Structure 1
Amino acid sequence: MTKNKAKAYWKENIRYLIILLSIWFLVSYGAGILFKDELNQFRLGGFKVGFWFAQQGSMYVFVLLIFVYVRLMNKLDKKYGYDE
């Protein structure tokens, strides 16, 4: 494995992490705290949407992002030859 190939692999990996963690931050902090008043005008399963995101929604999004990350990393491993 060349050094340049390893650098490119980690650069892409870090980019994925930044994007996915930014999404999680926006959902957990943004939807649960910053935009809760606007979101609370709507209801989901009998609960205000802002409250739902603060209590449960951010956890569901986090678990979903874990599966997305696993899929992205499997593709990245195949791309760079780490899939053995």
Structure 2
Amino acid sequence: MAKTKHASAYWKENIKYVLILLLIWFLVSFGAGVLFKDALNTIKIGGFKLGFWFAQQGAMYVFVILIFVYVRIMNRLDKKYGYDA
């Protein structure tokens, strides 16, 4: 029974982190690239409007960074619950 509670707590924490990271990805990709595009286009980076940059490049960079963040979070979570091999 304790093992089931342990696994359930691990899974709940895992889902919490996944949802947070997906929310960040949504805000960057859809929010910055579509919803807030007009406001961000007033700022220029390297000659390109910031809204355009997020839609074309920034969302991909953030996605790759989020992958590394997820790996780091999961390694800590595995150690916390004793699932590291």
User: What TM-score results when the alignment is normalised by the length of structure 2?
Assistant: 0.97
Match of 1:66 in 2: 67
Match of 1:16 in 2: 17
User: Can you give the 5+ residue segments of structure 2 that lack an aligned partner in the other structure?
Assistant: none
- DSSP 3-state at the match of 2:84: coil
1:28 offset after TM fit, Å? 0.3
User: Can you give the 5+ residue segments of structure 1 that lack an aligned partner in the other structure?
Assistant: none
1:4 offset after TM fit, Å? 0.1
Aligned positions of 1:1-84 closer than 5 A = 2-84=3-85
1:67 offset after TM fit, Å? 0.3
Superposed structure 1 runs of 4+ greater than 6 Å apart: none
In structure 2, C-alpha distance between the alignment counterparts of 1:41 and 1:83, rounded to whole Å: 47
Figure out how many residues of one structure are paired with residues of the other and give that number: 84
In structure 1, C-alpha distance between the alignment counterparts of 2:64 and 2:40, rounded to whole Å: 22
- String of CA shifts for 1:18-49, please: whole Å, max 9, x gaps: 00000000000000000000000001111000
